């Protein structure tokens, strides 16, 4: 047994014991695994490398923190609630379109922040009562919100798992917009249609009219949506018209949008919004610090190169099997860093952009899976279901379908790239 394999097994064992037995947070467990890996590899405790690795995803951490502040400001000003009411008024007579739009609406915060949990805690909490008023069963509502959160984490413009995989194999976060959109959007639409025709049989528009009458009739002026329009349009403008617009960077764009939000409604507190946003994002930011340390030690001890060499020698069948294992690690970020990075080398003969996008879809499904079943637990709180494994049970068919689509995208990655890129 090679020393690189011993190091890797010791790191994985440390992570597993820490998370599943000791019940420590995933971020702390990754940090401990990095330290153990360095010790087993004869590097002692390499403080410099641990610090350097901890700052490896500093840009992603800045994006998460500022995006969460922006979304919290949008929540406080009523912009998100206003959007949900507008969706209801426009689509309440067309249940199929309404469900599709609600899925996209639930995905939206994840597209901006790269965090699946944000989808459930913000727009998901607004979409759930609408779906319940439409007549969809409670468990199905929780499952649909959780699945939408997964697709929001994958969809562009911000996808943190892509950044993690890119950080592990020196791949810049450039050119992923269309591949991620092609990966996330069709699956999200098909899952929305599945829930529409599987769980919503007798739809009565009058129930939605009565629900609208019960809502707070506070007026939501157009000014509430100016910060949101600024953030979206400036992000698009920086890509399409970079010669004419000053490059602000995603974190600064979010902060400007948050400050603009404070001006749209009196009484909105930036300090309160920031405190709550950072508290919600702290576990994920800790995971990114731990992932950075983990990947740094893999490179320091030679395990990263070892994985690349071994991955290239895998039989074709095992390569796709390894991709199919990704959701069962129970964490999108852990799966992206541990399995996603070597799999990029495995499929090196195919389009890297498309393959990575499909791997991100597989990794993101891990947020639904045990032992943490994080998204199912959050969705259970929204629909008042204490046993979140019931939500997971309803989600099994959409999960299996999404995994199948992910594998097919990997198989035909080069053909897809030739068509869309």
pLDDT in tens, the chain (421 residues): 789 989 989 998 998 898 778 888 878 888 999 999 999 999 999 999 999 999 988 888 898 899 889 989 988 888 888 888 888 888 988 999 999 999 999 999 889 888 888 888 889 988 998 899 898 999 999 999 999 999 999 999 889 899 989 888 888 888 899 999 999 999 999 999 999 999 998 888 887 788 777 766 556 578 888 998 999 888 878 777 777 788 888 899 999 999 999 988 887 888 999 999 998 888 878 888 988 898 899 889 988 778 777 777 777 777 788 888 888 876 788 788 778 888 888 888 899 999 999 999 999 998 898 766 778 888 988 898 888 889 999 999 999 999 999 999 999 999 999 988 6
Would you tell me how many other CB atoms lie within 10 Å of the CB of residue 213? 8
C-beta of residue 169 within 8 angstroms of C-beta of residue 345: yes
pLDDT of residue 282: 87
pLDDT of residue 178: 94
Could you give the dihedral angle defined by the CA atoms of residues 177, 183, 185 and 189, in that order, rounded to the nearest 10 degrees?
180
Specify the pLDDT at position 208: 78
| Residue located via tokens 């999960």 | 399
The tokens of 312 are what? 């290239």
pLDDT reported for residue 196: 95
pTM here? 0.82
**Cis upstream peptide for 371 (omega within 30°):** yes
What pLDDT does residue 371 have? 64
User: Residues 115, 121: contact at Cβ < 8 Å?
Assistant: no
Instruction: Give the pLDDT confidence score for residue 227 in this predicted structure.
Output: 93
User: What six digits make up the tokens of 229?
Assistant: 């329009």
* CA separation for the pair 144, 131 (Å, rounded): 9
Measured CA to CA in angstroms, residue 209 lies from 162, 217, 231, 404 at distances of: 41, 13, 32, 38
Residue reference for tokens 């591949």:
179
Distance CA 321, CA 313 (A): 14
Q: Give the dihedral sign, CA 306/311/313/314.
A: positive
Instruction: Determine the pLDDT at residue 31.
Output: 92
For residue 243, the SS3 value is coil
């Amino acid at each position: 047994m090679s020393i690189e394999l011993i190091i890797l097994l010791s790191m994985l064992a440390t992570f597993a014991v820490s998370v599943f037995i000791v019940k420590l947070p995933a971020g702390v467990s990754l940090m401990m695994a990095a330290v153990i890996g360095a010790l087993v590899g004869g590097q002692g405790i390499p403080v410099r490398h641990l610090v350097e690795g901890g700052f490896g995803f500093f840009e992603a951490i800045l994006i998460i923190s500022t995006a969460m502040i922006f979304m919290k400001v949008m929540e406080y000003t009523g912009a998100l609630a206003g959007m949900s009411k507008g969706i209801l008024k426009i689509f309440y007579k067309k249940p199929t379109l309404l469900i599709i739009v609600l899925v996209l609406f639930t995905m939206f915060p994840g597209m901006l922040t790269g965090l699946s949990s944000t989808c459930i805690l913000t727009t998901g909490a607004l979409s759930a009562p609408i779906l319940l008023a439409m007549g969809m069963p409670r468990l199905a509502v929780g499952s649909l919100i959780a699945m939408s959160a997964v697709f929001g984490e994958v969809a562009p413009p911000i996808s943190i798992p892509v950044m993690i995989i890119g950080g592990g194999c020196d791949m810049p976060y450039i050119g992923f917009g269309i591949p991620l959109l092609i990966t996330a959007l069709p699956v999200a639409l098909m899952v929305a249609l599945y829930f529409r025709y599987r769980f919503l049989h007798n739809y009565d528009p009058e129930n939605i009219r009565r629900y609208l009458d019960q809502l707070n009739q506070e007026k939501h002026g157009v000014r509430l949506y100016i910060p949101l329009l600024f953030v979206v349009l400036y992000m698009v403008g920086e890509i399409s018209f970079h010669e004419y617009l000053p490059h602000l960077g995603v974190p600064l764009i979010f902060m400007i949008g948050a400050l603009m939000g404070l001006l749209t409604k009196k009484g909105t507190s930036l300090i309160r919004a920031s405190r709550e946003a950072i508290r919600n994002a702290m576990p994920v930011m800790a995971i990114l610090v731990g992932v950075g340390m983990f990947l740094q030690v893999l490179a320091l001890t030679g395990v990263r190169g070892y994985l690349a060499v071994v991955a290239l020698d895998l039989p074709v069948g095992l390569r796709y099997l390894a991709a199919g294992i990704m959701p069962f690690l129970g964490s999108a970020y852990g799966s992206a860093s541990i399995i996603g990075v070597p799999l990029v080398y495995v499929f090196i003969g195919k389009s890297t952009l498309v393959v990575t996008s499909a791997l991100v879809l597989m990794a993101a499904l891990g947020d639904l899976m045990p032992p943490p079943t994080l998204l199912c637990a959050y969705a259970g709180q929204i629909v008042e279901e204490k046993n979140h494994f019931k939500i997971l049970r309803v989600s099994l068919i959409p999960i299996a379908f999404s995994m199948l689509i992910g594998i097919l995208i990997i198989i035909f990655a080069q053909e897809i790239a030739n068509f869309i890129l």
